[in-house]
């Protein structure tokens, strides 16, 4: 038995999801004629209360399309220094959009309205034009931390006052909503664009959806083609996404409980230092004294438990639907005996 905690992207489709994929009605989505893709896009838009949606192959592509659609070359994007769009998308902001980033030192991946306001460049021919604010909820590198809705509204207000667009990297937005008892429409009301992932905690094998108004999605659809993301009979994949949306959101609460239980076991050990407060599905823990992050990972591997060092002193574990309650008991037993 392998216990995979390296990421929630390791999930494999269950039998029912595979059956839904197998039965999907398909067509050529580049021609707009795949009924299952169209259905996924309208379900997603209806959930968030946005006008339109676009099925994309990955979260990286949907973030990058959004950034390209909202900006002009030479402009500046404001985000937390731990943002996925900034540190984990291969320099895509520079490569695809010819923009630069003003990275802010937030609180576990989260920035606030005052920081955003202070980061906006005044009109000055020497300075890039600030045109977009991007936030991530939950924050991956922030250990699954969540924004409070009021804080997002305050950032939105600053964006409106200064005529900036506001993008949400919602790869794990479902985890944030479950943790804070929110609904998708609250997010749809705030953001100019939202990227949601179906292939993280929701368990689909592939796929993200980009949400926004009709003009934005029209532009995004063209950019998806330019980026090579126009897919043909993508309904087989969209069917997995629809299954994920219909079946796998409410159960995320269990992943959060699992993360907290394992976090409690870690907190009792002398070789564990600071644990980032566990709000959702992710644990980031500091490893000290007689273990290093690497030797901790190696030890767990001997018990077929896989997690990753994210720095020389920190490990990360991510809980998801392929981690069962009995696996959690095994993880706790192994940690307790160390």
Ligand X SMILES: Cc1ncc(COP(=O)(O)O)c(C=O)c1O
Total site size for ligand X, rule CB under 6 A? 13
Q: Is 60 in the site for ligand X (CB under 6 A)?
A: yes
Q: Select from 17-25, 26-34, 56-64, 266-274 the region that touches ligand X (CB under 6 A).
A: 56-64
Select from 78, 104, 132, 171 the one that contacts ligand X (CB under 6 A).
171
CB of 176 to ligand X, least distance (A): 11
CB of 139 to ligand X, least distance (A): 7
The 116-155 site mask, x for binding ligand X (CB under 6 A), equals --------------------x---x---------------
Q: Is 101 in the site for ligand X (CB under 6 A)?
A: no
Please report where in the chains the tokens 């959702």 appear, as a residue.
Answer: 280
CB of 77 to ligand X, least distance (A): 15
Residue 141 contacts residue 84 (beta carbons within 8 Å) = yes
State residue 210 phi and psi, 5-degree precision.
-100, 135
CB of 288 to ligand X, least distance (A): 26
Select from 58, 115, 233, 313 the one that contacts ligand X (CB under 6 A).
58
What b/e sequence results for 153-190 when a residue is b if at least 16 CB atoms lie within 10 Å of its CB, and e otherwise?
eebbebbeeeebbbbbbbbbbbbbbbbbebebeebbeb
| Dist CA 70 CA 81 (whole Å) | 20
Touching ligand X, residues 176-235 (CB under 6 A): 197, 199, 208
CB of 195 to ligand X, least distance (A): 7
Q: Select from 57-65, 95-103, 185-193, 226-234 the region that touches ligand X (CB under 6 A).
A: 57-65
Comparing every residue's Cβ against ligand X, the nearest one is 59
Q: Which residues pair with 212 in a beta bridge?
A: 52, 193
Query: Which residue's CB is nearer to ligand X, number 144 or number 263?
Result: 144
Select from 24, 48, 53, 59 the one that contacts ligand X (CB under 6 A).
59
Touching ligand X, residues 62-91 (CB under 6 A): 63, 84
CB of 289 to ligand X, least distance (A): 30
Select from 169, 192, 255, 279 the one that contacts ligand X (CB under 6 A).
169
Q: Select from 52-60, 228-236, 291-299, 330-338 the region that touches ligand X (CB under 6 A).
A: 52-60
CB of 268 to ligand X, least distance (A): 29
Query: Which residue's CB is nearer to ligand X, number 120 or number 176?
Result: 176
Query: Which residue's CB is nearer to ligand X, number 3 or number 82?
Result: 82
Q: Which residues contact 331 (CB under 8 A, 6 or more apart)?
A: 3, 5, 262, 265, 300, 305
Q: Which residues bind ligand X (CB under 6 A)?
A: 9, 58-60, 63, 84, 136, 140, 169, 171, 197, 199, 208
């Amino acid at each position: 038995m392998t216990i995979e905690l390296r990421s929630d992207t390791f999930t494999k489709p269950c039998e029912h999801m595979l059956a839904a994929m197998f039965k999907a009605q398909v067509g050529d989505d580049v021609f707009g004629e795949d009924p299952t893709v169209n259905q996924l896009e309208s379900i997603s838009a209806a959930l968030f209360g946005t006008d339109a949606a676009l099925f994309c192959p990955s979260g990286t592509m949907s973030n990058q399309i959004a950034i390209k659609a909202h900006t002009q070359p030479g402009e500046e994007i404001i985000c937390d220094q731990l943002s996925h769009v900034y540190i984990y998308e291969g320099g895509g902001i520079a490569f695809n959009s010819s923009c630069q980033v003003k990275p802010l030192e937030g609180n576990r991946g989260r920035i606030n309205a005052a920081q955003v306001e202070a980061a906006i460049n005044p009109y000055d021919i020497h300075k890039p034009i600030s045109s977009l604010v991007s936030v991530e909820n939950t924050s991956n590198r922030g250990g699954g931390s969540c924004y409070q809705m009021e804080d997002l509204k305050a950032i939105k207000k600053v964006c409106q006052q200064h005529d900036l667009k506001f993008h949400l990297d919602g790869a794990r937005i479902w985890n944030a909503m479950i943790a804070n008892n929110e609904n998708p429409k609250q997010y749809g009301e705030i953001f100019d664009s939202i990227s949601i992932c179906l292939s993280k905690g929701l368990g689909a094998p592939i796929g993200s959806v980009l949400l926004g108004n009709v003009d934005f999605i029209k532009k995004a659809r063209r950019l998806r083609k330019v980026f090579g993301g126009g897919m043909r009979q993508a309904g087989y994949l969209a069917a997995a996404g629809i299954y994920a949306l219909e079946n796998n959101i409410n159960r995320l609460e269990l992943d959060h409980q699992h993360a907290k239980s394992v976090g409690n076991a870690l907190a009792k050990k002398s070789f564990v230092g600071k644990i980032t407060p566990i709000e959702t599905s992710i644990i980031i823990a500091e490893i000290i004294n007689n273990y290093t992050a690497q030797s901790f990972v190696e030890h767990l591997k001997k018990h077929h438990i896989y997690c990753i060092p994210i720095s020389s002193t920190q490990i990360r574990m991510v809980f998801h639907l392929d981690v069962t309650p009995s696996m959690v008991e095994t993880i706790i037993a192994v940690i307790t005996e160390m």
